[in-house]
Amino acid sequence: MIATTPRGFKDVLPEEARVREQLNKKITAAIDLWGYDPIETPTLEVLDVLERGSKLDSTAFRLFDGDNKLLVMRPDVTLPIARMVASRLGNEDKKLRFRYNLRVFRDSESAKSHSREFTQIGIERIGAKGPAADAETIIVFVESLLASGLEDFKIEICNVEVLKKLLEACDASEEFNDAVLTAYHESNYVKLDEVLDAASLDAEISACIRELIRIHGGREAISRCRELLSGYVREQVFDELDKTYEIIEECGYAEYVGIDFSLLSSFDYYTGLIMEAYAPGFAKSIGGGGRYDNLLEVFGKKAPAAGFAFSLERLMHALSVQDNLALEPKAEEFIDQDDPEAFKKAMEAHKKGITTTIGGAR
């Protein structure tokens, strides 16, 4: 019988493990400069506690413990952090900045060859809102990817309230809304046209929904959307998004950030800004995030919050596509002896940051 790992799980051998370790150090150093503290949450959470914040889909691993409680293996990190802040730091009024590097677990029967365990690197900023807070989240995301060595990428951003308010104005069925959201999520213009053609909608609203999915670009896209949806969406939404992008421009990162009003998230707790990062040659997003101002309240603490997370494994794939994924060399010295003098030589080399291998102990 061959000793194997479960489907979707794997052993990480030394060379890959060192690459992962080096990437983690670079990214952590970049995030650390912005004042984010490290945190960890348990691998297992109580299912009905997490589901106060968001309904977990069928990809979440579920199991019963010895107390007959239904548990879930952490399917993302934002929900556990919201639970942790509310339950452990509920009396903290100061603004909190957290960073993490944690494994998450998701099952998928429709994707037999996909990983079911992967590493998420990300941040959560608790207690701050407004354009400056959103801009910081995006900028830290940009600098994290740049620190990894990724050169060609784009973080697309928008505000979930835009499409949400437009659908509310339709006053249509939940089935219609779901069909529109699916078409947006898939960027399927043909399907969207079919859904709208079959619905009895006001012609102006129908035209707005058709056009919104096609609006993307730089800062000018915000003005185009503002003009299109005047009367449907609060001016403040566009004012804040414009101010956020202005800060990004002033920091010199506009080339890495775009506006895309077709953007959606698979998580239902986002309330404002949302973002997704993409790189050429990789169809899926590397990661994403956004603002979730109502999430902590369901766990007992009212506070605005925003953050992002990306998959280390997807980042490594994107880096390999750009031919920028390699194990960095280190200073090494082989000591071809195994007597006490060899250990003394090794210890002196270590003081200089040189890795040593002793011959007799090799």
pLDDT in tens, 179-207: 988 888 888 899 999 989 888 888 898 89
pLDDT at 92 over 90: no
pLDDT at 344 over 60: yes
Provide mean pLDDT across the span 129-136: 97
Token output for 239 = 């004012």
pLDDT in tens, 7-66: 888 999 989 999 999 999 999 999 999 999 999 999 999 999 998 988 887 888 999 989
Query: How many other C-beta atoms can be found within 10 angstroms of the C-beta atom of residue 342?
Result: 17
pLDDT in tens, 237-283: 999 999 999 999 999 999 999 999 988 766 678 999 999 999 988 87
In the chain, the domains with their CATH numbers are 14-321 (3.30.930.10), 332-361 (no CATH)
> Given the structure tokens 């404002």, which residue do they identify?
272
Nearest to 157 by CA among 262, 270, 305: 262
Provide mean pLDDT across the span 166-170: 88
Nearest to 267 by CA among 92, 53, 96: 53
At residue 352, what are phi and psi to the nearest 5 degrees?
A: -95, 5
**Biggest alpha carbon–alpha carbon distance for the chain:** 87
Band (124; pLDDT cuts 50, 70, 90): very high
Dihedral sign from CA coordinates of 274, 278, 283, 284: negative
Q: What is the percent of the chain with per-residue pLDDT over 90, rounded to a whole number?
A: 64
Token output for 88 = 């452990």
pLDDT at 109 over 70: no
At residue 237, what are phi and psi to the nearest 5 degrees?
A: -60, -45
Rounded to the nearest angstrom, the gap between the alpha carbon of residue 99 and the centroid of all alpha carbons in its chain is 12
State the average pLDDT for the chain.
90
Nearest to 192 by CA among 284, 264, 271: 264
